[in-house]
Amino acid sequence: MSADSLTRVAPDATSRVVLEARNVVKTYGHVTALDGVDFELRAGEILAVVGDNGAGKSTLIKALTGAVHPTSGEILLDGAPVHFKGPLDARHAGIETVYQDLAMAPALDIASNLFLGRELRCQGVLGSVFRRLDKKRMREEARRAMSELKFRLPSIGNAVEALSGGQRQGVAVARAALFARKLVIMDEPTAALGVRETGQVLELIRSIRERGLPVVLISHNMPNVFEIADRIHVMRLGRRAAVVTPQSHSMNDVVAIMTGAAAA
């Protein structure tokens, strides 16, 4: 297998490995979803994960975020082995995931959704005894996060359901960026978006990288992947078929590796 030799040609191959999977296997009965897959996410990069349907992309991501438990194999965060019991564990460890259905409460406003499950309380007695939410501080923080990410929104007090698909996606991505300490994982963030909105979301993903957080991007959209990714992890039949870069390979090459028409 030449996957390892390929990672070495990546431009930032010397950067620190943030998240790593070693020889991870996941079987459901006699169905093998992951067949000894390796995975490496390096500091400061956008790593795209591509693969045909059933190649094991989503199972890999679920294994990395604790949503499924690997049958065997190892997952390491910053070099230390981790055993996530569930997605919450991964979140506590600093891994934020943007789910395809965005995990938003549409009737609540943008600030409420950004802080959903992590609401801020007032300082002092108001917070400790009366458990009062600090709505003002949450709005301010939300506004700051959105402007830091250079993402335009009509108003932080708008209900999420009043936003366009791209804006909603922006809120979901901003939430991940606001709370992630180690890395952000995004599942098909540009599916269902128009051209202009896709551009905005890609811009957002770049600004997360600029803030120093590595990003794992699961996508079917090859042009997007080639536009934004530093490296591309290609899944095939539950394994890592190759890791390539947009510079070293063409879209056709990657599709060929995905489908098995070409060896990596």
Pairwise CA distance, residues 53 & 236, whole Å: 9
Q: Answer yes or no whether residue 123 interacts with another protein by CB under 8 A.
A: no
Torsion of CA 61, 63, 65, 68, to 10 degrees: 120
Please list, in sequence order, all residues whose beta carbon lies within 8 angstroms of the beta carbon of residue 133, skipping any fewer than 6 positions away. 119, 120, 121, 122
**Strands 215-218 and 46-51, sheet pairing:** parallel
Residues 6+ apart with CB under 8 A from 159: 106, 107, 108, 109
Among 16, 69, 83, 150, binds another protein (CB under 8 A): 150
Does the protein bind another protein through residue 13 (CB under 8 A)? no
Q: Which of 117, 124, 194, 260 binds another protein (CB under 8 A)?
A: 117
Question: Could you tell me which of 151, 139, 137, 140 has the C-alpha nearest to residue 111?
Answer: 139
Nearest to another protein of 45, 188 (CB atom) = 188
Residues that bind another protein (rule: CB under 8 A) add up to a total of: 37
Is residue 87 a contact residue for another protein (CB under 8 A)?
A: yes
Shortest distance in whole angstroms from residue 98 CB to another protein: 10
Residue 124 is a binding residue for another protein (CB under 8 A): no
User: Residue 242 and residue 120: Cα distance in Å, rounded?
Assistant: 43
What distances in angstroms separate CA 115 from CA 125, 151, 199, one per listed residue?
21, 17, 25
Q: Does 84 contact another protein by CB under 8 A?
A: no
Single out the residue of 103, 107, 174, 108 nearest to residue 144, CA to CA.
174
| Binding residue for another protein, selected from 7, 58, 59, 112, defined by CB under 8 A | 112
118 binds another protein (CB under 8 A): yes
Interface positions, 154-193, toward another protein (CB under 8 A): 154-157, 159, 161-162
Nearer to another protein, 67 or 222 (CB): 67
Nearer to another protein, 112 or 169 (CB): 112
CB of 231 to another protein, least distance (A): 28
3-state secondary structure of 125: helix
Part in contact with another protein (CB under 8 A); list of ranges 27-35, 43-51, 56-64, 103-111? 103-111
Task: Answer yes or no whether residue 91 interacts with another protein by CB under 8 A.
Answer: yes
C-alpha 191: how far from chain center: 14
Which residues in this chain contact another protein in the complex, by CB under 8 A? 87-88, 91, 99, 101-108, 112, 116-119, 121, 130-133, 139, 143, 146-147, 150-157, 159, 161-162
